[in-house]
Amino acid sequence: MLESISIPMDKKNLRKLRNQDNNPCIEESDASQQCLNVNSYDKSMCTNYFLRYKSCRKYWQNIMVQRRREGVKPDMPTAAERQEMIAAIGEKPY
């Protein structure tokens, strides 16, 4: 049986994960967690939320890689830049 390993989060790492400029998928992450809470941690009930989070991470990872190749700094667009990019598309691409 595979046991879950709990990694303690210090305040610095937690702040980094909750920082809009560093983590473009906070909204999707929160929605996944909320789904788990509402459904008594029945993962099968939250598959769509997990897929949306995964798609979000993949999309922004590809953007980050592209920006690195082009020498654009910072690698990850800021929260404001991401909002502009999404507004230009018209909706979230994931």
Mean residue pLDDT across the chain: 89
What is the tens place of the pLDDT at every residue in 28-40? Answer: 999 999 999 999 9
Which of 30, 17, 20 has its CA nearest to residue 77? 20
Whether pTM exceeds 0.85: no
What is the tens place of the pLDDT at every residue in 40-58? Answer: 999 999 999 999 999 999 9
Tokens 């929160």 sit at which residue?
30
Is residue 42 within 8 Å of 52, Cβ to Cβ?
Answer: no
